[in-house]
Amino acid sequence: MDKHRIRFLPLDITYLAQDGENLLDFAMDVGVHINASCGGNGTCKRCKVRLVEGRVDFCQDQALSVSGHGEDIVLACQTRIKGDAVFEIPLESQIDRSALKSRKSPNILSAPDSLASLGGISPDPVAYKINITLEPPGIDNNMADSERLIRVLKNSHNMGDVKINLNILKRLPSLLRNSGWDVTLTIAETDMGLEITDVQVGNTPKKQYALAIDIGTTTVCGQIIDLWDCSKTGSRVIGESADYNAQISYGDDVITRIMHTRKKGGLKRLQEAVVKTINLIIDELTDKAGIERSFISHMVCAGNTTMTHLLLGVEPRYIMISPYTPAFVFPPVIKGGDIGIKGLDNTPLYLFPCVSSYVGGDIVAGVISSGMAKEGDISLFIDIGTNGEIVLGNKDWLMCASCSAGPAFEGGGISHGMRAAKGAIEQVRINKKTYEPMILTIGHSKPLGICGSGLIDSIAEMLSAGIITENGRFNRELPTDRVREGKDGYEYVLCYGKETQTGRDICLTEIDIDNIMRAKAAMFAGCKVLLDSAGLYFNELKRVIIAGGFGHFLDPSKAQIIGLLPELPLERFVFIGNSSLMGASLFALSREYASEAERVARMMTNIELTNNNRFMEEFMAAMFLPHTDLRLFSKTLGVR
Ligand code: FES
């Protein structure tokens, strides 16, 4: 793709931009400050820059953007780069060179492409299809249908003991005769051993698909995988879909859901709600891909321990009561019909094993997809969500913990917090001289609230600009109207009401900052306790793998400034997105990963942090920006 030279004045710095790149996004990426307070929506008109020379395209009617002063003034957020160009940033967006030092490293990795497409892995699933032709019975050979079938499997396919369940037996006589004794069997490894889970008329082994589903507390995501052919698309994943978990109506977090199961019919309601969501996702996946459900040979689900209990309709109550004992960690293999999955009554459904009440199958799936349990080098896996889960180790040993970080990184408990959705402020830069913000929202929509990455950016930027102090309190003497006393105490105004969707100012208060500090302190303290238990220092980590929804927008350099992530070179941070879904897909694709799931779950030693004195000490030490032990962040403090 064409690259263009973009020069910014008066900084007089030049960067290479992709053809068609949005100018405001580009400026944000390279660390050039342009005031922007509507998130790139085109309404605040604060992102004006002068086009000195060069070629650009406009996203909207530039009559709106051009100031009418006879100059080539454009709105950066409404401008696409189409050639080499020179832009002058007006005085009100003054030089902020310091931002350059802390801009994102281009070396930050995403999940490897081969894993993303799953194209590099040869399918060897736990359920497979075999076409067989049987000799029709005669008067001198009237062996029972099921025995006839098993004998062929034994003699021609070298299979030992294969079970046939009642559902199949009921359909078997007519299927065999209607097919002219030419059928395709689906044979799956289940708790019964090898089991025939489907019999289809004719030769259908080339039509085999699997479903991988990540059951999150908030969202459920699914993928449909073609197990036979990836030649057309280059990817085995032929469809993806996601929806909010319908359980959300019964509470945002796992504790509220568990509380709901104590009400009459509560457990059944929650089970039906998540199954309803899964059914909708399967409908969408199969409809879009034009696939009949009967060709789905198996399903794999990964979820946290509570979600796994609720899916199976198993009492989760003791997960939240000391000593925090789940009913099981190794779930049985069930059939779709056991829980109400439509049209897949006899299709096996595999669930990822869990480790403890608060380290579930989603984390085991994440560890598998990250590859850390196959390497000699030591990695730290972090899933930042309502419950921050962390795993430390390598191919020989793994330790894990869950630190109740609270919902702050998902916007919970923050006055204008929201999940990472359209209109959420996800990136923030603050000019250190004028204290004016530059913000970007998801979808360039008018700001609606702030999501996790926006919160981390905001606090790091406020700290770097001296708007807040190391203990999270506002500097009340600054010459800016953006720091003011609101109804909840002092606050910083990120967007004024005329720029937002709600018409209300979007602010960050000291209470919000305190909530984020608690969340980051819990995460960091959890990591520190695990490393101390293993006798390791942070600089001995080869990789820090960050999983979860907001990983892609999280700027690790900002997360280091507030003390959420350890001080390590940026190239050691790897973002792998929804690693739970990726792990489920790997399990669905290959029995090697299916057995790896069990090996990893058995190998993970859970360190309980609740009522752990060491954790409390580390938590208190981390309740500072970035930390009370400044030696842990000496380089970060130098850059800031
Ligand atoms: Fe461009 Fe608001 S008009 S950021």
DSSP strand E in 417-519: where?
424-430, 437-441, 449-450, 483-486, 489-495, 506-509
* % of the chain with per-residue pLDDT over 90: 69
Per the CB < 8 A criterion, the answer to whether 207 and 228 are in contact is yes
pLDDT of 639: 60
Domain ranges of the chain: 3-94, 127-201, 209-351, 373-407+527-639, 408-515
Give the DSSP H or E segment for 580: helix 579-589
Distance 78 CA to ligand 1 centre (A): 8
Indicate the angle between helix axes 145-157 and 166-178, nearest 10 degrees. Answer: 80
Domains 3-94 and 209-351 share a fold: no
Q: Which of 92-101, 130-139, 355-364, 434-443 has the lowest mean pLDDT?
A: 92-101
pLDDT of 634: 85
For 63, counting Cβ atoms within 10 Å of its Cβ (0-12 exposed, 13-18 middle, 19+ buried), the class is: exposed
pLDDT of 105: 34
Ligand 1: nearest atom to the Cα of 78: 1
Q: What is the mean pLDDT of residues 626-633?
A: 94
pLDDT of 59: 67
* % of the chain with per-residue pLDDT over 70: 91
| Fold held by 209-351 | Nucleotidyltransferase; domain 5 (3.30.420)
Residue 254: closest CA among 206, 306, 207: 306
Distance 436 CA to ligand 1 centre (A): 13
389: pLDDT strictly greater than 90: yes
Question: Mapping DSSP to helix (H, G, I), strand (E, B) and coil, where does residue 209 land?
Answer: strand
95: pLDDT strictly greater than 70: no
Distance 414 CA to ligand 1 centre (A): 24
Residue 564: closest CA among 535, 534, 527: 527
In this structure, what token pair is assigned to residue 255? 């504790």
Euclidean distance between CA atoms 258 and 251, whole angstroms:
9
Q: Which residues contact 166 (CB under 8 A, 6 or more apart)?
A: none
Helices and strands in the chain, H and E counts: 18, 27
State pLDDT tens for residues 574-600.
988 889 999 999 999 999 999 999 999
CATH 3.30.365.10 fits 373-407+527-639, yes or no: no
Q: What is the mean pLDDT of residues 298-326?
A: 97
70: pLDDT strictly greater than 80: no
63: pLDDT strictly greater than 70: no
State pLDDT tens for residues 100-122.
333 343 323 334 443 445 656 78
Distance 147 CA to ligand 1 centre (A): 73
396: pLDDT strictly greater than 90: yes
pLDDT band at 218 (very low <50, low <70, confident <90, very high): confident
The dihedral region occupied by 39, where left means phi > 0, alpha psi between -120 and 50, and beta the remainder, is left
pLDDT of 411: 82
Whole-number average pLDDT of the chain: 89
Per the CB < 8 A criterion, the answer to whether 464 and 99 are in contact is no
Per the CB < 8 A criterion, the answer to whether 576 and 372 are in contact is no
9: pLDDT strictly greater than 90: no
pLDDT of 552: 59
Ligand 1: nearest atom to the Cα of 39: 4
239: pLDDT strictly greater than 80: yes
98: pLDDT strictly greater than 50: no
Ligand 1: which residues within 6 Å by Cβ? 36, 38, 40-47, 75, 77
In this structure, what token pair is assigned to residue 502? 């709600």
By most ligand atoms within 8 Å of CB, the mutation choice from 28, 77, 494 for ligand 1 is 77
pTM of the entire structure? 0.82
Q: What is the C-alpha end-to-end distance of the chain, expressed in Å?
A: 35
Distance 27 CA to ligand 1 centre (A): 13
Distance 423 CA to ligand 1 centre (A): 13
Q: Which of 65-79, 251-265, 310-324, 506-520 has the lowest mean pLDDT?
A: 65-79
Homologous superfamily (CATH) of 3-94 is Beta-grasp domain (3.10.20.30)
pLDDT of 72: 83
Q: How many CA atoms lie within 13 A of 610 on its CB side?
A: 13
Distance 48 CA to ligand 1 centre (A): 8
* Minimum CA distance residue for ligand 1 atom 3: 42
Architecture of domain 127-201: Roll (3.10)
Per the CB < 8 A criterion, the answer to whether 551 and 577 are in contact is yes
Ligand 1: nearest atom to the Cα of 45: 3
pLDDT of 377: 96
622: pLDDT strictly greater than 70: yes
Question: Could you tell me which residue, 598 or 412, shows the higher pLDDT?
Answer: 598
Q: What is the rounded (10 degree) CA torsion for 363, 365, 370, 374?
A: 110
Question: Could you tell me which residue, 420 or 266, shows the higher pLDDT?
Answer: 266
Ligand 1: nearest atom to the Cα of 77: 1
